[in-house]
Amino acid sequence: MGQVLVNGVFLGSLFAVVAVGLTLVYGVMEVPNFAHAGIIVLAAYATFEMSERGAPFVVAAIVGVAAGGVVSVATELFAYRWVRNNPAAAPAVALGLLLVMQNTALRAWGGEGKALDTPYQGVLVRFGGVSLSGVKLALIIFAAVSLVGLGLVLARTSLGRAVRAVAQDREAAAMLGIPIQQQYTLAFLIAGLLAGVSAVAYAPTFQITPYMADEVLLSAFVVVVVGGLGSVGGAVVGGLVLGVVESFGAYYISAAYQSAFGFVALVVILVARPGGLLGTNARRVA
């Protein structure tokens, strides 16, 4: 029971980091960023490549996170920026980007899984009959630190206030003199860095493949819907809830259908509330 709950927190932390990146981009730009999975994959391979070349793990991890940020900003610069006034084209652009990124990874590193070594992978933490491997604990810590950091940036800095203002009302923010373009780029930068963090944290628990992030992305989208598209706080809470739901489902019913429990949650929520659970900022979803 305790073990299942801890696993749920592990999964939930992962979902939360990915979902916050998705919801931030959605909040400012109304893009369902399917390409987020591709950014996670490329960041993971960047980390792998660096550690293969003998770089210490810390350096490799920093390069991986930075790579996530760079690739994400590039997708905004070269693709999303050009469909800003045509939200209907956004899913198509996202799918095109995903196709390009995953197949670039497939071409460069091949389809077979690569293992990412970390200095903390031999660690096993035990407390009160519950055990947690070093890589899973590290993921929870990475997630907590980056999300608290992001929370502080959004709440306390003028940069964060500007991002929130754009997410709440684009036109009003523009009228008040907030440089909108800069907020778009910033949102993609933050989302990319979070994708990098999730890649570095998640890759050691699993193998790196071009399709490693597909299922995580699906669950993260459920989180975003649960939390309300565009709501960062909702994404964190939703992430943890969904992680625990999937973990209990996997343990008590069937591990093979773990991500399907997320789907069940999505169906239940959308039947009850077609606009998501916490549509607090009343954003029209269209």
Partner 1 sequence: MPAAGRHLAVMAGLAVLGLIGYRLLTTLEGGKAHICMLVMVWAIAATGLNVILGLAGYPSLVQASFFGGGAYISSLLLQHGWQPAVAAVLGIVLTMAGAVLIGLVFARTRGQYFAIGTLFSGAVVTLVLINEKGVTRGQQGMPVGLAWSTDLTIKLLAVSVPASLAIFYVIARSHIGDRLRSIREDEDLAAHLGVPTAQIKLIALVISSAFGAWAGVLQAQSDGLISPSQFTFVKGFLLFVAIGLGGYGRLLTPVIGSFIVIGVPELLDLGPGISQIALGVLFLVVTLTVPGGLIGGAEGVARRAAGVIRRPTGSDVATPSEALT
Quick one: residue 133, left, alpha or beta (phi over 0 = left, psi -120 to 50 = alpha)? beta
Report the DSSP beta bridge partners of residue 131: 126
Spatial CA neighbour of 239 closest among 20, 36, 1, 2:
20
How many of the other CB atoms lie within 10 Å of CB of 112?
Answer: 8
Q: Which listed residue (39, 50, 65, 93) binds partner 1 by CB under 8 A? A: 93
User: Which residue number, 115 or 267, has a Cβ lying nearer to partner 1?
Assistant: 267
User: Residue 281: how many CA atoms within 13 Å on its side-chain side?
Assistant: 21
CA distance 29 to 41: 23
Residue from 2, 56, 59, 95 binding partner 1 (CB under 8 A):
95
Rounded to the nearest 10°, the torsion over CA 237, 166, 99, 87 is 110
Residue 58 or 271: the one with the smaller Cβ distance to partner 1 is 271
Q: Which of 56, 77, 86, 124 binds partner 1 (CB under 8 A)?
A: 86
Residues between 22 and 41 with contacts to partner 1, criterion CB under 8 A: 26, 30, 32, 34
* 50-58, 81-89, 137-145, 182-190 -> range binding partner 1 (CB under 8 A): 81-89
Residue type, 57: F
Contact status: 98 vs partner 1 (CB under 8 A): yes
Binder of partner 1 out of 107, 117, 119, 253 (CB under 8 A): 107
Pairing of strands 130-133, 124-127: antiparallel
Kindly state whether residue 77 participates in binding partner 1, applying the rule CB under 8 A.
no
Task: Kindly list the residues in this chain that would bind partner 1 in the complex (CB under 8 A).
Answer: 26, 30, 32, 34, 79, 82-83, 86-89, 91-93, 95-100, 102-104, 106-107, 214-215, 218, 221-222, 224-225, 229, 254, 256-257, 259-260, 262-263, 266-267, 270-271, 274-276, 285-286
